Amino acid sequence: MAFQPADRVSRLPAQFFAALVAEAAARQQAGQRIINLGQGNPVDPTPPAIVAGLARAAAQPEYQRYGSFRGLLALKEAASRWWHRRYGVVLDPAREVAVVIGVKVALAELSLLAANEGDTVLVPDPGYPDYDAGIALAGARRVTYPLTRQAGYQPDFAHMPDARLLFLNYPHNPTGALATAETLRGAAEWTRRTGSLLAHDLAYGDIVFDGGRAQSLLAEPGARDAAVELLSLSKTFHMAGWRIGLVAGGAHVIAAFEGLQDHLHCSQFGAVQAAAALALDQGDAWAASAAALYQRRRDLVVDALRGAGIPVDKPRAGIFVWLPVPGGGDGTRFAQFLLDRAAVLVAPGIGFGPEGTRFVRLSLTTSDTELTEAVDRITSVLAAWRGEPDAR
């Protein structure tokens, strides 16, 4: 008799980004030179001082054994200083900050923490697809709330239903929208009213353009009583793959979260945590440099696409361009068309929810040279797309 996995594993959705990687790899192996704009995987190197800090820490015997299940206090203290410098939020590092093995892991853990079988978990549409895995593992019910272009990709908290957990994400992936003051007030009021957990995914908080600033939900009065905020180092410091992040919130929420983590793993390699602490304490200039880099790439891509007649919005933050399909056509067909005709891989918008059906997402994480070539390839085949009978 063949092995059958547990129901919780069978409930897991197909991994959206894994499918994109497999598609690009298959084309490359067949001899095509694919430009991959489907993933947010930075090609830019980690700042050398962070790498050197990792090497120094790895050579220390104290990091060559199991560390604290709860993570390095030095990293929590550095994260607390970061939240205070950036957002004016005062945190108790020992009680209000948790170390996580990457934000992706933390997102799944939050659903396991908050939701029972059959409970409702609210996710944005469009939104980051990896919110869904933890919901499925928890046996919870995934319900979306819409973010539309007409509403500036802001949620309507006046009509938000109750739930055990709500995921909020600003700066927003995939659209690049920033939260308005009204959105953050509404989020804080919702979590206070319902007593439910609200998880604010702040992964792109430092990648903000044109002099703008992201805002912390934890700065809203009373929000931390039933809210957490997630900080990733992957994009700000080009540390994708280092698998390190932070979750901050009220002490009682963090205590429950760390209690869950005690049974799942025993924290990240101590040398990685030490390097992350260095990044947060010394990283203001690196963060500004990353924002300038992605703003330049955003302008390169958006200006070229607008020049080709595509009315694309300039994202206010993040590492992606949310591109409406020319003529309002289907995003999945357009993504396949670009792969077949231009050898450019983009992410179909439907992967982020039904509101993304007529969009594709382009990543800005490759080099300026490759981005320029990718946009040239895309614009060179647009006439053929517009001539297709089903393009609209």
Query: Encoding tokens for residue 114?
Result: 């908050």
CA 367, CA 351: separation in Å to the nearest integer? Answer: 24
CA distance 277 to 282: 9
Taking residue 317's Cβ as centre, other Cβ atoms within 10 Å add up to 28
**pLDDT top residue among 387 and 294:** 294
The topology (CATH level 3) of 48-283 is Aspartate Aminotransferase; domain 2 (3.40.640)
In angstroms, rounded to a whole number, what is the distance separating the alpha carbons of residues 298 and 208?
11
CA separation for the pair 100, 106 (Å, rounded): 6
* Structure confidence at residue 386 (pLDDT): 79
Residue spans per domain, the chain: 7-45+285-386, 48-283
| Each residue's pLDDT tens digit, 158-217 | 999 999 999 999 999 999 999 999 999 999 999 999 999 999 999 999 999 999 999 999
Span 116-157, pLDDT tens digits = 999 999 999 999 999 999 999 999 999 999 999 999 999 999
By C-alpha distance, which of 122, 199, 216 is closest to 160? 122
Q: pLDDT tens digit string along 212-262?
A: 999 999 999 989 889 999 999 999 999 999 999 999 999 999 999 999 999
Q: Would you say residue 310 has pLDDT above 80?
A: yes
Class of domain 7-45+285-386: alpha beta
Percent of the chain with pLDDT over 70: 98
Q: Count of CB atoms within 10 A of residue 64's CB?
A: 12
- Lowest mean pLDDT across 3-7, 244-248, 348-352: 3-7
Q: Kind of pairing, strands 347-348 and 141-146? A: unpaired
**pTM to 2 decimal places:** 0.95
Are the C-beta atoms of residues 187 and 198 closer than 8 Å to each other?
Answer: yes
CB 67 within 8 A of CB 270: yes
Query: DSSP class of residue 208?
Result: B
Torsion of CA 272, 274, 278, 283, to 10 degrees: 40
